[in-house]
Chains A and B, each alone.
Chain A
Amino acid sequence: MKLKRGSISRKDLIFSVFCFMQGTVLRSGFIISVTRQESWVMAITGLLLSLPILAVYVKLLGNFPGKNLVEINEAVFGPVFGKILSALYLFFFVSLAALNTRDLGNFVVGFMMPETPLAAVVLIFLIGCAYALHKGVENLMHLSALLCIVAGGAVLVNSILILKDVQPEFLKPLFRLEFPKFVQGTVSVAAVPMGEILTFTMIAPMLEKDEKAAKPLLFGLILSAVSMAIVILRDIITLGPLVTVVSLPSFESVRYVSLAGILTRMESIYAAVLVTLFLFKVSILLYAFVLGLTQILSGKDRPQANPEDEGQSCETERTRSQISAPPLMLISVAFVFFYSLFVFESVMENINWGATAAPFFSLTFEFLLPAISLLTVCVRKTGKARRVKA
């Protein structure tokens, strides 16, 4: 099934970005161990740092209306070099999908089902992702508003229930973080959850023709940053110095909820929400990978015959491709399954990667490559600028 423009609305895109980020937001341990009680500030500075990154994507998408990242690469760099560059992006998408799948597996096995093999958890999770995509990525994105309400509501309810046990003085002293750690924290937040918005450059062409992707993506990011700041603030004032030694601060602070001995064990809600958010995120990443793979392997840059697009040359030029449920899905899922199993040997290795190499790895794909593309566009004056001149 081909997707037309207008398959998703701006609201869908905003909520999808929020849900996409929220999975990582609820696993904020990676940042709190570095920036301690000032981690909530990183949500704001990380957002500010991610704005130039977002501007690059928006400029690229604006120059090539209706084209996704892979198509833009081909338009800018030609079929051969463009495909090579696209293959690098696809490696990034599939790596993120595998890393997030592994994170999900580690969470389920570590905190809920310690005797279940990791492979079983990962396999069933990926079957869920494949099924969601089989039903069409646009349907998944329509569901994002509901998921956003559930995830936001869970954070809100858990935060209210823990209020009686919090100590706001844990936030002090304010603004005493060493500069290198401040930079490390800001870059980590900008690169790891926020920069991953790159994935949406594969999805943004589904918006209405006249819609610009800039605003929905920006609002989605702002919503995520606010949610991240709230979650981290809650964890810090609940756990104090403990927040830097526990592996999942949000999980531990939610576990502490105990109201009148009745409202307890709220971590089950947290776990259910986290698994659903991971399913959403990995599905989007898988979609970006599979769509890109399909486009790279589909040969010539030819407009797809689409009866609804007949006579609309501009439309046919654009839609070669936003396929709802692209082929190669199952084989890609199988690939992610094995990739996620051998990507790390242990949770410790995973944490070490997250704290050291992950921001550099991510920024290469999230900022360096798109910036080169944009620079090339500006130098060669390809895309919209050239068409206007013609």
Chain B
Amino acid sequence: MTKQAVGTNRNAFFSLSASLSRKCRKGARRGVMLLLCTLLAFCFCACSSQRELNTLAIVLGIGLDAGDQPDTLELTAQVVKASELGSGGSTRRSEFGSKAYVNLSYTDDSMLAAVRELTRTQNRRLYFSHNEVLIFSSDLAKKDMAEGLDAFTRDSETRMNVYVLIAKGKASEILEEEAELEKIPALHISGMMGNQQVNSETAVVTLRDFEIATLSGSTAPVAPMIESFESEGKKHVKLEGTAVFKQGKMIGTLDKAQTMGLQWVTNKIKSGQKTVNTPWGQVTLEILHSKSSLKPVKDGDGTVRMQLIVNEEGAIQSNETGKDMSRLENVEMLKELMKNAIRSDIESSLRQARALSADVFGFGDAIRREYPEEWEKMKKNWNMEFPKIDMDIELNVELRSTDELTKPVVPGGAQ
């Protein structure tokens, strides 16, 4: 009896302890899971390395000018004021009397120093992830752009698809324009750059494109130029021409026609127009499609020359002559005139590039890809070799349509 009781007690004790141990284990497991969840919560952006929206100064445009002192640069950051982004669409002051942006400037030895020094005057930290444009003043571009390029590529916040522009004059003044249709000048400039494919008269260059050309060693990087002008008492900006670089410094420019010539050679023409002079007046031809191919060819004597083939398709966009331009002989005449206009642009840009001894077209890279042995001989003396390279130009122009009119609208034209 007693033995039985002891046995029962022992069993009860073991089952109790087993149950307790199970409960303890369950509790411990829950505790560990809770601890894990708490630890994982630190990974969320709200806890670790958090950047709250109301502590950020979101930068949409950057202007870089040469500083007053040697080896200094002036950083101008265009920061959006979200509270002022209401209705309406211009950079004019809102009903509360302030603009939707503020330009913060600081001059220091380096980019990072200027960015950090700005925190001594501002309560928000600059945030570059949404930056759209990077504008260098031509003065700085003529001295050295390496500092800005390196800093904006190296930093993890910045991106390589920002547009690079060169300001005629001060970059900070470009960011002070009074745009009619946008509240933020940087967004206005970025939008303009996005639209340039409709006229193809501006070289659209991102930070990636610029750096690829810089790293190439033979190709001369280019960047579009932007200038500020006053009209009816307001500051406006316009894109005009192209800056040409060599060894990291700006050495010259291309005008509008030369820029278009560059675009023809580098297969960047998407759309646009050309106005040609006929014996009876002007006709405007629209560029619908274009495809260029540039390749080096080797002559029998071993000299390398470039061969450019441009295939262009267009349409008659306007006719001021009063003549029927849909007649086949007139179509042939217009095609010839278009060819002449394209050839003129290309030859003009080639002359300017030779004068600057700057391979803006990427001849060197094309030769390196197709004839690596020849390139090894040429690359040491490329500055002297480039102006001597000939280019054959083959133009194939087609006029596909006369748009929605077959004959011009002139008085009595129906009879």
Chain A residues at the B interface, C-beta cutoff of 8 Å: 110-116, 120, 123-124, 127, 131, 169, 172-173, 176, 239-242, 245-246, 252, 255-256, 258
A123 to B153, CA, bound (A): 30
| B368 close to chain A: CB less than 8 A | yes
With beta carbons under 8 angstroms apart, the residue of B42, B159, B216, B372 that contacts A255 is B159
Question: Which stretch of B67-75, B207-215, B239-247 is in the interface?
Answer: B207-215
Interface residues of B in 131-176 (CB under 8 A from A): 153, 156, 159-161
- Residues in chain A near residue B48, CB distance under 8 A: 113, 115-116, 120
| B54 close to chain A: CB less than 8 A | no
- Residues in chain B near residue A240, CB distance under 8 A: 212, 215-216
- Residues in chain B near residue A115, CB distance under 8 A: 48-49
The answer to whether A239 and B161 touch across the interface, beta carbons within 8 angstroms, is: no
Smallest CB separation, B115 vs chain A (Å): 14
- Contacts A240-B212, A242-B208, A245-B215: A256 and B160 contacting too (C-beta < 8 A)? yes
Smallest CB separation, A229 vs chain B (Å): 20
- Residues in chain A near residue B368, CB distance under 8 A: 173
With beta carbons under 8 angstroms apart, the residue of B36, B49, B161, B215 that contacts A241 is B215
Question: What 6 A-B pairs have minimum CB-CB distances, sorted nearest first?
Answer: A172-B369, A241-B215, A113-B49, A240-B212, A115-B49, A173-B372
| B5 close to chain A: CB less than 8 A | no
- Residues in chain B near residue A131, CB distance under 8 A: 36
Interface of B is mostly: helix
Closest residue on chain B to residue A111 by CB atoms: B156
- Contacts A131-B36, A172-B370, A242-B215: A120 and B42 contacting too (C-beta < 8 A)? yes
Interface residues of B in 185-222 (CB under 8 A from A): 208, 211-212, 215-216
The answer to whether B39 and A127 touch across the interface, beta carbons within 8 angstroms, is: yes
Interface of A is mostly: helix
- Contacts A124-B39, A124-B43, A242-B208: A114 and B160 contacting too (C-beta < 8 A)? no
The answer to whether B36 and A127 touch across the interface, beta carbons within 8 angstroms, is: yes
A100 to B156, CA, bound (A): 21
- Residues in chain A near residue B369, CB distance under 8 A: 169, 172-173
- Residues in chain A near residue B159, CB distance under 8 A: 255-256
The answer to whether B42 and A258 touch across the interface, beta carbons within 8 angstroms, is: no
| B40 close to chain A: CB less than 8 A | yes
Sample (14) of A-B pairs whose CB atoms are under 8 Å apart: A110-B156, A112-B156, A115-B48, A116-B48, A120-B48, A124-B42, A172-B370, A173-B372, A239-B212, A241-B215, A241-B216, A242-B212, A245-B215, A255-B161
- Residues in chain B near residue A176, CB distance under 8 A: 372
- Contacts A110-B156, A114-B49, A245-B215: A256 and B161 contacting too (C-beta < 8 A)? yes
Smallest CB separation, B366 vs chain A (Å): 8
A124 to B40, CA, bound (A): 7
- Residues in chain B near residue A169, CB distance under 8 A: 369
- Residues in chain B near residue A252, CB distance under 8 A: 160
With beta carbons under 8 angstroms apart, the residue of A112, A127, A173, A255 that contacts B160 is A255
A113 to B48, CA, bound (A): 8
Smallest CB separation, B407 vs chain A (Å): 39
Closest residue on chain B to residue A115 by CB atoms: B49
Interface residues of B in 32-48 (CB under 8 A from A): 36, 39-40, 42-43, 48
Closest residue on chain A to residue B375 by CB atoms: A173
Smallest CB separation, A115 vs chain B (Å): 4
- Residues in chain A near residue B216, CB distance under 8 A: 240-241
Smallest CB separation, B95 vs chain A (Å): 29
Closest residue on chain B to residue A169 by CB atoms: B369
- Residues in chain A near residue B161, CB distance under 8 A: 255-256, 258
A176 to B369, CA, bound (A): 10
Smallest CB separation, A250 vs chain B (Å): 14
A256 to B372, CA, bound (A): 30
Smallest CB separation, B291 vs chain A (Å): 15
Interface residues of B in 357-402 (CB under 8 A from A): 368-370, 372
A70 to B335, CA, bound (A): 79
A114 to B212, CA, bound (A): 27
Smallest CB separation, A365 vs chain B (Å): 33
- Residues in chain A near residue B153, CB distance under 8 A: 246
Smallest CB separation, A173 vs chain B (Å): 5
A358 to B130, CA, bound (A): 38
Smallest CB separation, A263 vs chain B (Å): 12
A149 to B216, CA, bound (A): 37
- Residues in chain B near residue A255, CB distance under 8 A: 159-161
Closest residue on chain A to residue B50 by CB atoms: A115
A242 to B208, CA, bound (A): 8
- Residues in chain A near residue B212, CB distance under 8 A: 239-242
Smallest CB separation, B141 vs chain A (Å): 20
The answer to whether B208 and A239 touch across the interface, beta carbons within 8 angstroms, is: yes
- Residues in chain B near residue A120, CB distance under 8 A: 42, 48
Inter-chain pairs besides A169-B369, A256-B160, A258-B161, 6 sampled, C-beta below 8 Å:
A112-B49, A124-B39, A172-B370, A173-B369, A239-B208, A252-B160
Closest residue on chain B to residue A110 by CB atoms: B156
- Residues in chain B near residue A112, CB distance under 8 A: 49, 156
Closest residue on chain A to residue B43 by CB atoms: A124
